[in-house]
């Protein structure tokens, strides 16, 4: 296999563990805290998880290991979208498992949770796992989006574990995957299978976060990767001085990625979906907000700029959400076939005009035709609009152009406006993990095995104090049920881990809010450059600005 010089060099990198995990397995003991409860809906969550609810949060400390000595056969699953550092979670788990007892075995279930149900696996050895240390991607065993949520699936999983003598399963995933982990853990406990389930917090979106999870893994690397590209675009923008760049970044439900990239690169404009929802901003208001920056900069001779757009922002615009709901109703059932049979876009437009309310039609009418058609071309399996396919970066640049044309006609604007468009998504999901993510992920995996060794079930591997050097990180675990509440999903009440949105009264947003007016008027671009792996600590091991602001003293 051909490998790059960087991959070869990264094989030699030794991830840094939290201080209490550096003394050897024999010198780690457990400190138990108070009993926990869910963030909301306590009675309902407790009723759903009678065997795993209310357990204590735990912290690992230096001391005599009192865990039972037994052979451990562990299975690991990568679930959901890729995030940099996933390989190191597996490597940390493997190293802790083998350090405890060389006879311990690690199974990797292939292709995500479906690998467990279909009994597709490999057994890790030193030679194989060494090929993936400190590398990006999930190709070590592959990933998938199958959900483990039915009694039938749980029964099959139990039989597969029994067949291989598996004592624990580690599920590496986001909020939905860890919700599934909690439900599986409860099933295993209720049926006395003797199999433990441990989760690890993954998502580049940054929305698996709370008072216990300071940062999901992959967020650091992904935002640094996007910020490098945004910085490069900013430098090009400031060199050519003739384009406005509209850059969409990942983040369907929350704007953590957009906010962190803005803090790193200081663009002229960055939309925050949560603020759009809070202020009930219309498409027209957002377009005016961006156009104000374009016009003011143009008046000062700067017909160029950069705007960052979160992937899911249109869903947070109240009038657009209503429009989407009406379109879903308009094409429900057989009406979709009737619509699709119409021969021309003009015919379809008339059908739409007849079926929407006056208010929603007014919103629909201001959309560029390409966006209008996107709303009707692609449907999800439930027949709904796939909002994630809407090219919101093109939508807002087109709306801004309309605003500027109107201002030009009114004699209040005479600048030039040329827009270029970018979507930064998959570019960040499988990058070589930063030193932070390499260390953090290795620690999460190592720590996950310690939770297994001490017999915990339905727990999330937790590493905190992340804004400090790794030697000061604190390792431990928390019951997954502590993060849960009840939400309505597809007409049913479901226990889910609550997504963390950008807090508008939080330090990261407040810092952004205090500086964005200056950034909108002036050219304050910052060029982060590529992720650095070797060199000064302040360059190579730096955390996200979000994390630093949240934990500044």
Residue 175 contacts residue 496 (beta carbons within 8 Å): yes
Tell me: is residue 252 an annotated ligand-binding position: yes
Residue 158 contacts residue 189 (beta carbons within 8 Å): no
Tell me: is residue 204 an annotated ligand-binding position: yes
Tell me: is residue 427 an annotated ligand-binding position: yes
Tell me: is residue 81 an annotated ligand-binding position: yes
User: Which ranges of 341-434 does DSSP label H, i.e. alpha helix?
Assistant: 345-355, 358-365, 369-377, 392-409
Residue in the structure block whose two tokens are 């027209």:
284
Residue 430 contacts residue 138 (beta carbons within 8 Å): yes
Edge-to-edge order in the sheet of strand 56-62: 28-35, 56-62, 474-479, 459-464, 196-201, 168-173, 73-78, 105-109, 121-123
Tell me: is residue 478 an annotated ligand-binding position: no
Tell me: is residue 379 an annotated ligand-binding position: no
Number of C-alpha atoms within 13 angstroms, CB side, residue 368? 17
Given 176, 205, 220, 437, the catalytic residue = 205
Tokens of 552: 């500044």
Q: How far is CA 285 from CA 97, 207, 279, 304, in A?
A: 56, 27, 10, 21
Q: Which helix (H) or strand (E) holds 488?
A: strand 484-489
Distance CA 173, CA 165 (A): 24
Which of 417, 424, 382, 380 has its CA nearest to residue 396? Answer: 417
How buried is residue 280: exposed, middle or buried, by Cβ count under 10 Å (0-12/13-18/19+)?
exposed
Three-state secondary structure string covering 171-237: EEECHHHHHHHHHHHHHHHHCCCCCEEEEEEECCCCCCCCCCCCCCECHHHHHHHHHHHHHHHHHHH
Give the single-character DSSP code of 315. G
Tell me: is residue 179 an annotated ligand-binding position: no
Tell me: is residue 251 an annotated ligand-binding position: yes
Residue in the structure block whose two tokens are 């705007």:
307
Tell me: is residue 521 an annotated ligand-binding position: no
- Residues making up the chain, counted from first to last: 553
Tell me: is residue 242 an annotated ligand-binding position: yes
Distance CA 335, CA 329 (A): 9
Buried b (16+ CB within 10 A) or exposed e, 118-153: eeebeebeeeebeebbbbbbbebbbbbebbbeeeeb
> 205 an active-site residue?
yes
Tell me: is residue 203 an annotated ligand-binding position: yes
Beta bridge partners of 522: none
Tell me: is residue 544 an annotated ligand-binding position: no
Greatest Cα pair distance, the chain, in angstroms, is 81
Tell me: is residue 440 an annotated ligand-binding position: no
Tokens of 499: 């997504």
Name the binding residues for diphosphate: 81
Name the binding residues for Mg(2+): 175
Name the binding residues: 81, 175, 203-205, 242-243, 250-252, 311, 426-429
- Which residues are the active-site residues? 205
Name the binding residues for substrate: 203-205, 242-243, 250-252, 311, 426-429
């Amino acid at each position: 296999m051909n490998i790059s010089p960087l991959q070869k060099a990264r094989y030699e990198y030794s991830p840094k563990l939290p201080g209490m995990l550096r003394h050897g397995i024999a010198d780690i003991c457990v400190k138990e805290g108070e009993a926990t409860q869910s963030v909301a809906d306590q009675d309902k969550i407790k009723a759903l998880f009678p065997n795993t609810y209310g357990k204590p949060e735990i912290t690992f400390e230096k001391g005599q290991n009192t865990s039972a000595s037994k052979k451990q056969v562990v299975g690991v699953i990568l679930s959901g979208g890729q995030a940099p550092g996933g390989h190191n979670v597996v490597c940390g788990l493997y190293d802790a498992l083998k350090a405890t007892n060389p006879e311990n075995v690690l199974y990797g279930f292939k292709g995500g949770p479906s690998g467990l149900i279909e009994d597709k696996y490999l057994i890790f050895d030193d030679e194989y796992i060494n090929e993936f240390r400190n590398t990006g991607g999930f190709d070590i065993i592959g990933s998938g989006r199958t959900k483990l949520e039915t009694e039938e699936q749980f029964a099959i999983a139990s039989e597969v574990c029994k067949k291989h003598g598996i004592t624990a399963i580690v599920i590496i995933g986001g909020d939905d995957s860890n919700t599934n982990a909690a439900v599986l853990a409860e099933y295993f406990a209720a049926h006395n299978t003797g199999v433990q389930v441990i989760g690890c917090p993954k998502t580049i979106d940054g929305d698996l976060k709370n008072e216990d999870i300071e940062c999901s893994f992959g967020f650091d690397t992904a935002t640094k990767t996007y910020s490098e590209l945004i910085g490069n675009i900013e430098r090009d923008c400031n060199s050519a001085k003739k384009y406005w760049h509209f850059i969409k970044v990942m983040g369907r439900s929350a704007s953590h990625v957009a906010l962190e990239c803005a803090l790193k690169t200081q663009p002229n404009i960055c939309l925050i979906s949560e603020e759009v929802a809070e202020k009930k901003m219309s498409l027209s208001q957002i377009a005016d907000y961006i156009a104000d920056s374009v016009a003011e900069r143009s008046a000062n001779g700067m017909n160029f700029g950069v705007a960052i757009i979160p992937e899911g922002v249109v869903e947070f615009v109240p009038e657009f959400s209503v429009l989407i709901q009406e379109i879903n109703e308009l094409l429900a059932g057989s009406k979709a076939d009737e619509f699709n049979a119409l021969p021309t876009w003009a015919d379809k437009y008339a059908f739409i005009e007849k079926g929407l309310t006056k208010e929603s039609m007014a919103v629909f009418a201001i959309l560029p035709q390409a966006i209008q058609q996107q709303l009707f071309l692609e449907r999800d399996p439930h027949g709904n609009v796939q909002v994630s396919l809407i090219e919101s970066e093109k939508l807002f640049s087109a709306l801004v152009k309309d605003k500027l044309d109107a201002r030009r006609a009114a004699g209040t604007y005479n600048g030039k406006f040329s827009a270029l468009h970018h979507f930064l998504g998959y570019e960040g999901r499988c990058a070589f993990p930063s030193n932070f993510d390499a260390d953090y992920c290795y620690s999460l995996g190592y720590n996950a095995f310690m939770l297994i060794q001490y017999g915990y079930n339905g727990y999330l591997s937790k590493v905190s104090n992340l804004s400090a050097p790794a030697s000061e990180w604190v390792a431990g675990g928390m019951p997954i049920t502590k993060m849960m509440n009840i939400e309505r999903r597809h007409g049913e009440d479901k226990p889910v881990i609550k997504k963390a949105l950008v807090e508008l009264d939080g330090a990261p947003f407040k810092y952004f809010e205090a500086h964005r007016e200056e950034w909108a008027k002036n050219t304050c671009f910052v060029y982060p450059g590529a992720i650095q792996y070797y060199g000064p600590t302040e360059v190579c091991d730096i955390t996200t600005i979000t994390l630093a602001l949240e934990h500044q003293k």
